[in-house]
Structure formats: structure tokens, C-alpha cells
Chains A and B, each alone.
Chain A
């Protein structure tokens, strides 16, 4: 594989990198990765001609890639694009990307997260108002308890579009924000005595009379007792106990029993 330019987007932002490759009249593939997300940009004689990311092609893929705040890049010179999905000049694409980025920033300053709860303003900002249809759909759902995230889900919008509409309504003085509500933590279901009985049988089959001690030690290490042990912690407890079983065959048997037990609990 030919070696090319590699580096981090945190140190060399994508926009600067593209300007550099364009100025040098380069041809090749710019491979981008951020976590498990991957993307490719193809440059031909300094012009961006094709973009692919997350199943998207062309300008939408490019718009997605320029929002990555960090990640890695590798430029493989000489690789020709498999197709051409971008016709706009790079300067124009970068100008649009900069405009979108600045819009995002402005929106984020007013609508900082999807946890905010918008509600209708108590006083109308002006004697007469014009509301467009898209904003009305959102207004109709405001009840003082729905978060921006739940509004987005209900309207089938992506987060950014929902934030953009809420931002518009806030700037127009039509909505105010409630403080995020602190929801009372839901009571966690307990594993219960029947579970501990089954657990004891499974551990005893693997380690014999030490079962009680191992179970209590593991519970103690997790900061729980049999009385307050939550059902959603069973897998962690099973894992901790299985680490104490030295015989590999008995350990696997125990793990199988525990998985069956957990599946039974989930089905109940």
C-alpha cells in the first residue's frame, strides 16, 4: 500500500487539509475515520469530486464529514474516484460548510442540548405574528414537559433540524425554556430471593461449599446485599463469580446456567 500523508483531524482540521491538497493540485483518496465511522473524499487535480460517508454520497456525505471534530486521516495519492458525485467547486463547498458550521454554533448557543423543555411564552412578543406550517407542528406539541429530544422523535426530525426550529421560535419570542426536569430515578427491580436460591445452586455445582462465601464476597465488592441487589446487575455478578471458578468446564457451565437464568428473568 503506498504511504501517504497521515495525521489527526484535531491537529489539522479537514477544511485546512482540503485547502492544502487543492492548492497542491493533488489527486487521490482522503480516508477519514472517527471511532468506527469511516468516510472517503476523492480529489482529482485539486478538485473535490466524490465523497462517501455512512451510506451517503456526494454533498450530504461531505457535509457530514466536515462536522467531525476529531478523527484520523490518511491521504492515498493517485487513487481515482469510483464515481463523481460532486460538481460544485471546492471553494463553494467550503463556504457552505463554514456557513452551516456557524449556524450550528449560533443554534447551540441558544439551544444547548436536546434535554431542554420548550414551552409557549406566556406573553405574545408582538400584537401580530406569522408562524410557518413547520413551526406550527412543533408548537402544537409543546406541553411544558416534552424535551427537545422527544419533540424531535415525535415529528420524525433529526436533532439538528429540531434544534433549528426551536431556535427560530425562541428568537421570535414564542417559546421559553423550562429548566430540565429532574426525573425521580425509577425504582430498580430487585433480583429477589428466588434468584439467589438459583444462583446458590449454580455456584455450588461449580465450587462446592464455598458458594455462599463467594456470592457474599462478590456482592460485597459490588456494594450490595442480597436484599438490595438489582436485577440489572445480575450479569455483572455472574461475571464476578465466574472469575472465581478455576475449572474451565465448570466455569462455562456456570455461565450457561446464568445466561439461561437472566433470559428467564428478562422474559418474566
Chain B
């Protein structure tokens, strides 16, 4: 089995994100970037499946500017085998990324595609779903457990009502939830080995997909600052305020 893991370069989770003065997007020029945390979980799971003897190869995929190779290297240092980088400076929507992942997975013959359930920058929560639809493959979203079984995978999904256990057929697409695993730290020997692992650079044309945007960003603004709370003396006052001030009940 071959596993393709999609990894995205995003603003580091510990950084306070600032909106650009012209409201065209968020400031990325001077800020620390890192692998999207859900993608780290995806890489970790692929490596665990490989270590359990259920996969021969773990391939990392990333699309975006040159610097995405650093993100791929991070995953290679965790233990993945090689990388694919689609070099483009265009703005990428989930649909475009999904098309590229689908095309790459087809080319590589990947049986399992693992993605983070969402990226912490745009919070779309769409890419995995679109990949599955484009490829007409089984989808397991928000998984907190996955095991290889005959003909497919046994998965556990985190849903509003609790946990849902399913069996899906291979080939499949899964997206990772937070509790799936705790990603490893790259070890020093693996960091050194990662330097020698190959990253193939592709162009959008190599994949033969149209990455044109279907949406246009009109404006990006900071969320409104939170107002200070008020203490209420009893339940009666609370109900009164909810009814007459907040008008929510």
C-alpha cells in the first residue's frame, strides 16, 4: 500500500495573526510558518501504519510557493519517504488543491490519502471531502482511529453525537481529527536523513488541472474585540437580561 499525505504550510499556531492594512488578507511576510497541526497528525498516522507493516511508502504532497519544501522536509524528518511539491504562487482554493491532490494520487497509485480535517489558516474543512468526491473514493472524515482490515479500513469518526465506527473500502480518503494521535518530534538522525530524501518538483501543468479561483476575496477584517462581561446577581436578572437586553430568549 502507498499512502499520500497532504501537508500545508500555514502560520505557526503560536503566532497572533494580523490582518494586512489594506484588508486583502493576513500578514504573512514577517511571521513564522509551520506545518498545519492537523497535517502533522496525518503524517504521524501514515508513519504508524507504515511501521505496523501495512504500507510500503509514505509520500508527502504540498502545493504552493518554494518555501513549501521546508514543510515537506519537516515531514520527511518525521520519517516519511519522499515528497511531491507543486510549485505555484497562485492563490489556491480547496477545489484547486483537491484537484491537484487527486491527480497526484492517481499518478502515484496511492491507495490511501490522508489529510488534516482542516487547516488552521482558512478553516475550510473541504479539501478531503472534495478529493474523495473527485476520485469517487470512500471517505472517512474526522477520524480518531484507523486500522487496515481486509479490503479496506476500520475507522472511528468523531461526530456530534459521539463516536461512529465504520468500515470503508480501499482505496480511500480520510481526514484526521485532533485525537487521532500525538505527532512525534523529529529525531536528530531523521533530520539528517531527511536532507537526502527526494522531493519531486511538479508544475500545475504536469498535473493537467485547472486551478482557477471560483471565489474572490472582498475584504479580510479582524474579529470584533470581545466586550467585557457583566456579573449578574441571580438567575432572575440573567433571564431578564437575556430576554430584554440580548433578546435571545
Binding between chains A and B? no
Which residues from chain B sit less than 8 Å from chain A, CB to CB? none
